[in-house]
Amino acid sequence: MSAQIYSPFERFNFSNSKCFLTGQALNSEEEKIQVFPQWLMSRYKLEDQPFKLLDESMATYKDLKLPCSATINEQYLEPLEAEISAAFEAGYEAIKQLDDLKLFQWAGKLLYGIIFNEIQAGIKQQHAQGEEFSMSHAIIHKFSQLHLMLQSLNLPIELDGFKPYSLLLFKVDNADDVFGYRDEINTLTFSLRIKDFGLIICLQDNGANTSYHKQATEKVKDRILHPIQFEELNARFFYSAYLFNRLPEYNILPVEDIIYIEAMPLRGTSSKPLFDDWVPKVYGQVLENFWKNWGFLLFEIIKNPEEPMSFLFDIDGNPVSAASIELPR
C-alpha cells in the first residue's frame, strides 16, 4: 500500500487518542512525547518554568505534550532528537554540518507541538462557552502545510527542487547559561540562541525571507556576533515574516512509492511584491521587544525615524565588530 498523507485539519481532529504525525489510533491517551525535548529542558532547567499560551493561560514547559505513537517516536523522532542533541551540545561547528532539513524538522515538530496545544486549549475554551471552535482559513492553510512538510520525517517525501523554509545559523558570543527562545506561530517563525550559536527559521516561506535579507546576512554570516547583534537580526526576520504576504501552495504528486512535493511560484498571478512595505517605526517597536535585556526604549531606537539604531552596521553600512560593543552578553 502506498504511503498516505495525514491531514488533521480536514476533520479538525486534535484529540489525544490519535498520533499527531500519522493520525493512527493510540493504545492510550498517555502515549505522548514532550513538545520541548527532555534533554533541552534538563540542560536549561525549563521543566517548571512558566509558558504563556495565546489565551493568556499559563502552562509549564513540561506540561506541553503531543500524542504520538510509541513506534513513530522510536523509529523517527528519538533518532532525530539524539542527532540534534549531540550537535547542539557540541555547538556551532557541529550544527553547521547537520542537514538543514533535520533542523527544520526538529524546529517544525517543536512549533507544531505548541500549535497543537494552543488548538486544544482553544477548543476546550470555546466549547466551555457553548461555541464552535474556529480559525481563519489562512492560519489553517499555514498550519496544515507545516504539518505536511513534517511528514517528511516518516513518509518517503521528496521536496522537488525547493526548501519550504528559510534557515540561518550564526556564531554568537553567548553567556554559558543563556536560553533564548522565541516563536511567532501566526507567521511560523522560530529562533533559538544557546551555547555559541543563534538559529533563525521561517518555517513556511519557501526561502523568501533568506532572499529578502541576503544583503545584510552576507555581510555578517562568518562573523562572531554579540547577542544584541543576533537579536537585531532576529527582529529583522520576525518583522519581515509578518510582512510576507503570500500563502505558499504546493502540488503533491505520488509516483510509485514516493510522494513528490513541488512548490508553486510564490508570485502567482499577483503583481504585488512578496513583502508589504517595511515601516521603520514599526520595525523599531519590534526591535525594542527583542532588545529588552539591554533596556533600550523606542524613543532611543528611532531617534532617527528613517534609520533605527543598529549594532550590526555603522552609518556607512559596514559591519560592527562584536568586540567593540560594550554591553553585557
- Report which of residues 250 and 122 the model is more confident about: 250
Give dist(CA 105, CA 92) in Å, integer: 18
The answer to whether 280 and 305 are in contact (CB under 8 A) is: yes
**Per-residue confidence band for 159, with pLDDT thresholds at 50, 70 and 90:** very high
Identify the pLDDT of residue 13: 83
Q: How far is CA 264 from CA 161, 185, 217, 252, in A?
A: 11, 23, 26, 11
Burial label, 288 (beta-carbon count in 10 A; 0-12, 13-18, 19+): buried
pLDDT tens profile 257-268: 999 999 999 987
Give dist(CA 290, CA 228) in Å, integer: 8
How many CB atoms are closer than 10 A to CB 296?
A: 18
Tell me the pairing of strands 258-263 and 250-255: antiparallel
| Residue linked to cell 528559510 | 166
* For range 179-190, the mean pLDDT: 96
Identify the pLDDT of residue 281: 96
Identify the pLDDT of residue 2: 62
In 3-state terms, what secondary structure has residue 158? Answer: strand
Is residue 1 pLDDT above 70, yes or no? no
Identify the pLDDT of residue 56: 79
Identify the pLDDT of residue 129: 82
Percentage of the chain modeled with pLDDT above 90: 86
**Per-residue confidence band for 125, with pLDDT thresholds at 50, 70 and 90:** confident
Q: Please state the pTM of the whole predicted model.
A: 0.95
Per domain, the residue ranges of the chain are 7-136, 160-329
The answer to whether 22 and 68 are in contact (CB under 8 A) is: no
pLDDT tens profile 9-38: 998 889 999 999 999 999 998 899 999 999
Percentage of the chain modeled with pLDDT above 70: 99
- Report which of residues 4 and 145 the model is more confident about: 145
Identify the pLDDT of residue 54: 81
